[in-house]
Amino acid sequence: MLLALSVSTLWKAVLICGIVGLAVLTVVPEVPLGVLSWLRHTLPGKLAALFDAFFRWIQKRIWWFLSTGILLTVGVLCFLLARDPPWGPCRTPVEVTFAVSDETAPAVRRVADAFMRDEANWWGCRGVNVNVGALPADGIRNRLRDWTFPVEPSGGRTPRTPPGARPDGWLADLSEEVGYVRGRRDPKLTFGEPVTVAVSPLVIAAPSGLADDLAGDDLRPGAHDWAYLLRPRSSTRQVVRTYPLASNVGLATTAAAGPAADLSGEVRPDDNVHEVMCRYPDSAAAPPVVMTEQQFHEINLALSGTASAPRAPDGCFTAPATVRMTAGRTGTAPASATADVLAPLTAVYPKGGHALRYTCVPVLWSDLDRPGSVRRTVEEFCDALREALPRYGFRDHRGRLDTGALPPGSGWLKSEAPVALDWKAPVTSTIYQSRTRLADHVLLLVDNSGSMGNRAADGGTRLTAAGRLAQFIVTSRRGERTTGVQTFFPEDGRGSGPAAVTDGGRSLVERLDAVMDVRPSRPDPEMRALVVDALDRMAAIGGGQDRRVVLVLTDGGDPEGLAASDLRGRDGVRLVVLSFTGRGCAKKPLPELQEKGLMSCYDASSDPERALDEVFDELRRPR
């Protein structure tokens, strides 16, 4: 019972009991002497002789002990009153901000609330504020980069930085995620010592019947590998996976099971697991969904009515899902009687024990003067996460499941399920492969006119920067449907129509090398004719809405004459321009066409890779 109390509540209770006890003893000193006298006559033999000497020693000094206790109590009270006077305002608490993925944030917020209560002083004034900022997984990685590399918009305006406070700590869902960001950061951003605070293996959660069908009636942990569990079936709904950029569960699943040719239509690119599950308040109607064991635990608690669903929209899981069961089948009631029985989801544990390893990382900024109290608070909160997260369905940092710390009725978790703590998730390659899925069909239109020979921000030419970026896209599109390269001067014969990349992109890379090897000297051709021809070629291929893209890599060229009518009616083909000069996107009529939503233009003059990231972000969202 006492262990359930917070530290601040516990010491306040002890202090109050001590004051009351000393007051009683001061008023009625005969009470302790009477107790000692009773013990003196009760103890046998030699113990009584020893206690008699002790009793006489205490009897002579009883007032000294009471006076000392009173003075110590008064001193402690005076110290507390002087440090935190109840009649004065509360001191400004230490403010720390933690960046957390939106899939992990619900549990972290609970730990933060308890941590702030424990750090309150004796009068209830809060000493620490822990602000938990939740973003999609890719949003956190991009922000950690954007805070150190302000985006340079076109038109020479002041660089913009992302909104919100820079984090003092980061709870990464995968330890490899830290390495990914560490390799792409500015020197003014440094990370402290990462600490693994919790682990949670991946599971496939489904209604009981679907889970049995999925696992072939063998629900033993690790009985089947990912290939078996994700194989297409005619009798079972497709297993739903979240996308690997917005969801770290999707990222870990893609790293463990491999990329999916087509994800279920029941999930959108920006969805996390909670948002998917909240569409199915009746668990019997839910599809099989890949999630962490901890998310499975929280959702089952919500279904049972013992806890609210994490990060759930209003009404999500407000009525626990039930199945109707005839009580007469159990032999305990007449067949006419019925009862509602809760229907929790069932977890299928894939072979391999692939898990998310949650890593707490102090974040330090050389251009921000943070007091030492902030760093200490970040370290203390990391320790609090390690201690408290296992109470919310996580496994501890060693991969052990503490069933005694979980709420009653949590028997759906299988502590015997193996966890691969040494699994190294290929986060970097998975992120790059996911990012470079521009569309099913991509045509790269590379400007090799004379102005592309001007110097770029990295010291090379604009053509070199555009060519290197095009090569990156090409080599990242192995296995995609078609990729093509065309230059502004197709008569040179260095282009290639859209075709499957079957050689790792080698032939297209060689074509781009040949383009970059020739010093550009010709004047800008009319861009309109080139763009219209490229759009017509992509429209002729056929395909779904937003799955065909013409990507123009230019310094602006000569877009005059390009009209809205040229871009409409192209069967959903998208036009995206990457400009390798700061003024390229401002050339008429490009701003007007952008405002009408007919095309997009991004400034790639200072950071081409960042501009490409923005293109990927846009193309993941349907128009």
Q: Please report the pLDDT score of residue 253 as a whole number.
A: 94
Helical H segments across 491-526, by residue range: 506-517
**Range with the poorest average pLDDT among 52-56, 88-92, 238-242, 297-301:** 52-56
Q: Which residue has the higher pLDDT, 379 or 436?
A: 379
For helices 248-257 and 427-435, the axis angle rounded to 10 degrees is 100
Q: Which of 261-275, 406-420, 527-541 has the highest mean pLDDT?
A: 527-541
Name the H helices within 497-585. 506-517, 527-541, 564-567
pLDDT score recorded for residue 248: 93
Predicted local distance difference test score (pLDDT) of residue 327: 33
Query: How big is the chain, counted in residues?
Result: 623
DSSP assignment of 200-211: EEEEEEE-HHHH
Q: What is the pLDDT of the chain when averaged over all its residues?
A: 78
Nearest C-alpha neighbor of 294 from the set 378, 195, 417, 170: 417
pLDDT in tens, 163-208: 567 899 999 999 989 888 876 656 678 899 999 999 999 999 999 8
Q: On the CB side of 390, how many CA atoms lie within 13 Å of its CA?
A: 18
| Right CATH for 436-619 from 3.40.50.920, 3.30.1490.20, 3.40.50.11030, 3.40.50.410 | 3.40.50.410
| Cβ neighbour number for residue 328 with a 10 Å cutoff | 13
Q: What DSSP letter does each residue of 245-300 carry, written as one string?
A: TT-HHHHHHHHHH---SS--TTS-TT--HHHHHTT-SSGGGPPPEEEEHHHHHHHH
- Convert 111-141 to b/e letters by CB count within 10 Å (16 or more is b): bbeebbebbbbbeeebbbebebbbbbbbbbb
Q: Which pLDDT does position 473 carry in this prediction? A: 83
* Residue 81 or residue 490, greater confidence: 490
Residue 190, CA distances (Å) to 179, 186, 275, 367, 607 in order: 12, 8, 33, 11, 21
Transcribe 425-455 into DSSP letters.
--HHHHHHHHHT---SEEEEEE--SGGGGSB
Q: How far apart are CA 386 and CA 379, in angstroms?
A: 11
- The pLDDT of residue 436 is above 50: yes
Contact present, 136 and 170 (Cβ < 8 Å): no
Where is pLDDT greater, at 408 or 359? 359
CA angle, 167 then 170 then 175, to 5° = 155
pLDDT exceeds 90 at position 498: no
Percent of all residues in the chain with a pLDDT value above 90, rounded to a whole number: 26
Residues 598, 568 contacting (CB under 8 angstroms): yes
Residue 542 near residue 498 (C-beta atoms within 8 A): no
Distances (CA, A) of 443 to 28, 446, 473, 475, 481: 94, 10, 11, 14, 12
Token pair of 427 as six digits = 């986060």
Q: Is 218 exposed, middle or buried (0-12, 13-18, 19+ CB in 10 A)?
A: exposed
CA contacts within 13 A on the Cβ side of 45: 1
pLDDT at residue 108, rounded to an integer: 94
Which DSSP letter does residue 396 get? Answer: -
What integer pLDDT is reported at residue 348 of this predicted model?
A: 95
| Residues 315, 309: Cα–Cα separation, whole Å | 10
Q: What is the pLDDT at residue 166?
A: 85
Q: In whole angstroms, how large is the CA radius of gyration of the chain?
A: 33
Q: How far apart are CA 443 and CA 485, in angstroms?
A: 6
351 φ, ψ to 5°? Answer: -65, 145
pLDDT confidence of residue 519: 86
Q: Confidence band (pLDDT; 50, 70, 90) for 572?
A: confident
pLDDT score at 202:
96
pLDDT value at residue 581: 86
| pLDDT for position 222 | 92
> Tell me: the pLDDT tens digits for 575-622?
999 999 878 898 889 999 998 888 999 988 887 877 877 787 777 666
Q: Mean pLDDT across the stretch 137-149?
A: 75
- Give CA angle at 7 (4, 13), nearest 5°: 90
Q: Report whether 538 contacts 567 (CB < 8 A).
A: no
Higher pLDDT, 47 or 468: 468
Alpha-carbon distance of 163 to 334, in angstroms, equals 63
Q: What is the pLDDT of residue 35?
A: 66
Q: The tokens of 210 are what?
A: 């679907």
Q: Residue for token digits 């960046």?
A: 99
Around 461, how many Cα atoms within 13 Å sit in the side-chain half-sphere? 19
Residues paired with 357 in a beta bridge: 199
- Range scoring the smallest mean pLDDT among 48-52, 335-339, 400-404, 469-473: 335-339
pLDDT score for 311: 41
Supply the pLDDT for residue 6.
43
Q: What is the C-alpha separation between 137 and 156, in angstroms, rounded?
A: 31
Q: Tell me if 554 sits within 8 A of 526, measured CB to CB.
A: no
Residues 200 and 213: beta-carbon distance below 8 Å: no
| From 259-268, 385-394, 591-600, the region with the lowest mean pLDDT | 259-268
* Structure token digits, residue 346: 């069932």
Question: In whole angstroms, what is the distance from residue 407 CA to residue 308 CA?
Answer: 13
| Residue 469 binned pLDDT confidence (cut-offs 50, 70, 90) | confident
Q: Which residue has the higher pLDDT, 128 or 145?
A: 128
Give residue-wise pLDDT tens across range 111-134. 999 998 887 765 667 788 999 988
List, in sequence order, every residue forming a beta bridge with 100; answer none if it has no partner: 134, 171
Cβ contacts of residue 294 below 8 Å, gap of 6+? 107, 198, 200, 392, 393, 394
pLDDT of 438 above 90: no
